[in-house]
Amino acid sequence: MILFVQNHDRVPAANFATWLDQWKVPHATWRPDRDDPLPDLAPLAGVIVLGGYMGVQDQERFPFLGTVRAFMADLLAREVPQLGVCLGGQLLAAVLGGEVRPATDGEHGVRTATLTAAGRRDPLFAGLPEELPVFQWHNDSFSVPSGANHLATSVDCAGQAIRHGNAWGVQFHPEVNGEVVAAWCQQTGAAAEVAESFRRREAELATSARRLLRNFIDLTGR
């Protein structure tokens, strides 16, 4: 089973859940923000920690973030494969000793993530281009923790993807669909061109994101 860790109502698994259903991969969702009890690790093949509107440094306002960090640390110790997305990637970096800080300008809309030499060799990015189109929506960024592999970078944000053992973190949002992006733009007053940039390249983005998810599922042994 794949477990989604959903930290906010407005940041669902979206396409990821749809594709797992198509592949008949069982999945469940844990909502730590609703004080759901900790899930049993025994049946889990892998975990995907989703994003959120809060930041890693907001633990005082959102105490459940400490619970998620401890859960991710436990996954690392038990060598359960995990993939952190945006906030999830930042939490992973923090657990590994990296720094999470406000990005200079943040990134919103379709951007390009460039795979490093390590990224080009990494099985999470197998079959994907070196210049990878991705959808970005973040105001914080993470440094590459000591001992982690740096897998991808971008013009505005060096920390786009990291790996430590069988834990991966990405700064971008491969899980989103048009409905989610439109809702984010409406709720935050983001410029119309952000949603339009996604609509123009939605099929291309979905193809890459689907491959990335399939790679992760294969890495879990499912």
Query: In whole angstroms, what is the distance from residue 215 CA to residue 203 CA?
Result: 18
175 in active site:
yes
Distance CA 181, CA 173 (A): 10
How would you classify residue 87: left for phi > 0, otherwise alpha for psi between -120 and 50, otherwise beta?
A: alpha
Residue type, 110: V
Is 196 annotated in the active site? no
Q: In this structure, what are the phi and psi dihedrals at residue 81, rounded to the nearest 5 degrees? A: -60, 135
- Catalytic pick from 107, 164, 173, 185? 173
DSSP states along 6-18: --STTS--THHHH
Buried residues in 153-181 as b, exposed as e (16+ CB within 10 A): bbeebebbbbbbebbbbbbbbbbbbeebb
**Active-site annotation holder among 107, 138, 157, 175:** 175
**Catalytic site residue 86?**
yes
**Catalytic residue chosen out of the listed positions 27, 86, 138, 164:** 86
Residues with catalytic function = 86, 173, 175
